[in-house]
Structure formats: structure tokens, C-alpha cells
Amino acid sequence: MAVGSSLNGGGVQVGIQCGATLDTTHDYVLLTSGGVTGNFNPMPVWTATTPQYASQYSIITSGNEVRLHFTPAAVTCSQTNAIAGVADNHDGTITFTFIGTPQAQYYVVASPDMTAPTSSWVPWAGSTNTVTNVSGQWQLTVTNTASQQYYRSTAVVPCP
């Protein structure tokens, strides 16, 4: 929408009517004006469907435009990733204890060949989790019917 010579935000909330998904790679230009002064309320009001990732959108001003802007959620990277223990539960299951970084995400991969390239190891179904323990400890219990199987944890986002 184009507005005349100038536009003053004055803390006003902007209502947005949209579909269930929005582009997260580009801003949406909501208003264009000869000049924008003052800020709008940064929290959009979803007037119909609330889109996926709604809490990560905000109203910003940029030059002579008012935009709907997407900010990706911060993701904790993994600084630590180790197997701390393996326990045979004597019921056909094994419990692995891992040490990771609190709030980082991990999953377990498995392979019958320990020397196989890590790219060929298969993700263990249902093993993705976020470490919530402040010490970084997390566990996974698996049923192992293979005659030989190796496991390792993998960080979703390793630290650089």
C-alpha cells in the first residue's frame, strides 16, 4: 500500500491477514511513504490465520517503508558431544547416556560397520532431542536385534 507524503507510526499495531505460511527469506513491504517517522508496535496482529513461526515476525521501519520482518530463532550449537555410558538392560534393550551442550539438539546414528563413512550411518528413528538437563546429559534406549551395531550421537548444529 502506498501512502502520501509522510507516515507517523506512533506505536500503532499493524493487522496482518495472511495464509498459514509466509516466506521466511524476504521482508514483506506493507506500506510505502514519502517518509516514515516514529515506530509502529513491533508485534503484528494476526487478523485471520496465524502463520507458522508467527512469534518470529515483527513490524519494522526501513527508510520510507514499513515491513513485516522474519527473525530466525536462535539455535544453540553443540560444544560437547560424547558417549558417557552404555548399559545393557537385560531385556533386549540398551540405554546410552550422552553428554552434550544444554539446549543443543542431537540425534543418534547407527551402522553395522564402525569403519563406514559417517555419511552412510543411518539416523535412529525417534532419537532427535533437545538437551534440557543443565549438565548436558541425555539418554536414549534402543532395541537392538542386529548381530552387530554401532551407535554415535550427532549434533544437529555443531559449533564452528
Tens digit of each residue's pLDDT (9 = 90 or more) over 89-119? 999 999 999 999 999 999 999 999 999 998 8
Q: Going from the N-terminus, what domains does the chain have, and what CATH number goes with each?
A: 7-70 (no CATH), 81-155 (2.60.40)
pLDDT of residue 72: 79
pLDDT tens digits, residue range 48-81?
Answer: 888 877 888 898 988 888 899 988 777 788 998 9
Look at residue 119 and give its three-state secondary structure.
helix
Q: How far apart are CA 45 and CA 47, in angstroms?
A: 6
Contact 59, 66 (CB under 8 A): yes
Contact 21, 52 (CB under 8 A): yes
